Amino acid sequence: MDWCRREAGAPAVVAGLCEPLLDQPGAPPLSSWTPLATSLLTEFGEQNEVRAELRSNVFTGVWSGSEVPRLESRRQAFTELLSHPREEVRAWAQDILDLIARRIRDATREDEERELGIW
């Protein structure tokens, strides 16, 4: 983190390279923030670029089957941030949660259509 404090732009670079979510025993997969992502949000969460890079990494990936379980685990991670000390991080988390809610609705409808043979 010292390098991030010294170099302009470094926090966004690190955020872009890190895996922001991790598995916790007894919790859905990838539903908790890594210590590195937590530190980046705590120290540099006011920077749009840091939040954008973390968001990109959270939603990058592949899956098969319904997207709903994947989205629900991400929802859990962003819900944790609603009590973050930085206002920018709380507002960002709420925006992402709104987006996830819409996507869950769409994915649920797609699942239903798939079951009916429409997809």
Written as one string, the DSSP assignment of 100-112 is HHHHHHHHHHHHH
Count of domains in the chain? 1
In tens, the pLDDT along 7-30 reads 999 999 999 999 999 877 887 778
Mean of all residue pLDDT scores within the chain:
92
pLDDT at res. 114: 84
Mean pLDDT of 102-112: 93
Q: Exposure of 14 by Cβ count < 10 A (0-12 exposed, 13-18 middle, 19+ buried)?
A: buried
Q: Does 118 have pLDDT greater than 90?
A: no
Q: How confident is the model at residue 119 (pLDDT cuts 50, 70, 90)?
A: low
The closest of 44, 24, 28 to 36, measured between CA atoms, is 44
In tens, the pLDDT along 32-82 reads 899 999 999 999 999 999 999 999 999 888 888 899 998 999 999 999 999
pTM of this prediction?
0.87
* Domain that residue 15 falls in: 2-115
Residue 116: phi and psi, rounded to 5, are -85, -5
